[in-house]
Homo-oligomer: A and B are copies of this chain.
Amino acid sequence: MSTEAMSARVGVLIAGLNGASANTMLAGSMGTNDVGARRLGSIIHGAGLGDHGLFADETSFVFGGWDVDGRTAADAATTHGILPVVDESTLERLGEIRPFPAYVGSLDTAEALQGGHTLSLGSAADAVAAVVENIQAFQSANAVDRCVVLYYASPLRRWQQATADLDETRLDELLHELRDVPSGLVYALAAIRANCAFGDLTPNITLEVPAILSAAERYGMPLAGRDLSTGETLLKLILGDMLRRRNLKLQGWYSANILGNADGRILSRPEHRSTKLEDKLSSLPKVLGYSDFDHVVDITYYPPRGDAKESWESVDFLGWLGLPMSMKINWQGRDSVLAAPLALDVVKHLDFALRHGERGLLGYVGAYFKRPLGCDQVPFHEALTNLRKYYLPYYLETPRDE
């Protein structure tokens, strides 16, 4: 198995290829030979699952995807400037990666709507067909063995369409009727129909739509999502769990988030942040077991911060005899740097699932997501236990190195 995982070439196709997070993932994983540094921030390695030959290595990944920005990945890396230094030979390889034109619907951001590098089509069904063709063209051009598609574009506006009963037949009708559907649906459906695993790293409804789940079931494709848990939400899970176990009553949690990248600009718009806020707000009550506390999350676009995500939290709680105490946390992270190893992990889990015939939502990867689908929201250490349990039979049978 180890050999199979290692020797295969895995295609990784990303919707939003030239965004800060995806681009950082490409530039970093293609540009570093320092294995130890590349393992930092990876849950696979944090959970002790990295040394058993279970997973494909990121050096075997072949990257491609879609973007409204049609420049090469090298140009994008230069613009974002997130990694301190990208060497010449890496830039050269990044220069060879150019995105396909992106499907953009009216729920996308104003910036995306104005982007020049887009598909122009009669209906959304045409877009699905075009994306399937892109994938097949990529596969044959790059001789990849298996393929994972990630949705990593900006958070969409809410869709007015009710989706709770949207089955495949009705979705197909809609795709033919409409020009504008949520772009996540287009990529997910195309991925599944092109026999690719699909992961949603953003706060969108895609993986709640029945049509997508049943298509994945039918095609035997694995799904994972949603919204990578890079920092703040994880902190809430961890500290919320601590409060519960110490029987300290949470009275309120205020979070101010300041971001200077495109993500910040878009999330500062109420119409694009509603799903994100829902995801952020949903975790604490589940971990605490009650919801009678004030929970406020502000997200503000603040250009001086760049890609460095900063947050300030005030955690107010009651101790013995109801006496109030408080904890303030100032988180100074780097969004794309925290996200990259998690996104690479997700590709590896999806690729493993492809190889082992798993289909539908992978509940055991819940530790990666703000809003884990296919499983309950549980404290982080329990989510990791679930992950390790899933892989237990596989690494038990791994032959030891000698």
Chain A residues within CB distance 8 Å of chain B: 28, 32, 34, 37-43, 45-47, 83-84, 234-235, 238-239, 241-242, 244-249, 251-252, 254, 256, 258, 294, 296, 298, 300-305, 310, 312, 314, 316, 318-334, 337-338, 340-341, 379-381, 384
Contact = CB atoms under 8 A, between A and B. Distances in A.
B247 A43 contact: yes
B329 A327 contact: yes
B332 A325 contact: yes
A312 B313 CA distance: 9
Contact of A321 (B32, B251, B312): B32
Q: Which 4 A-B pairs have the closest CB atoms?
A: A252-B304, A46-B247, A256-B256, A41-B320
Count of this chain's copies in the oligomeric assembly = 4
26 contacts: A37-B321, A39-B247, A40-B321, A40-B322, A41-B246, A41-B248, A42-B320, A43-B245, A43-B246, A43-B247, A46-B246, A47-B245, A83-B321, A235-B242, A252-B305, A294-B302, A302-B314, A304-B324, A312-B328, A319-B334, A319-B341, A325-B334, A327-B332, A327-B333, A328-B328, A381-B381
Contacts of A38: 320-321
Given A239-B238, A381-B241, A298 B296 contact: no
A28 B320 CA distance: 9
Given A245-B381, A323-B337, A252 B312 contact: no
B328 A28 contact: no
Nearest to A248: B41
B381 A320 contact: no
Given A245-B46, A328-B332, A310 B320 contact: no
Contacts of A238: 238-239, 242
A304 B321 CA distance: 17
Nearest to A323: B337
Contacts of A248: 40-41
Contacts of A41: 246-248, 319-320
A10 B174 CA distance: 73
Given A245-B381, A294-B303, A319-B40, A332 B326 contact: yes
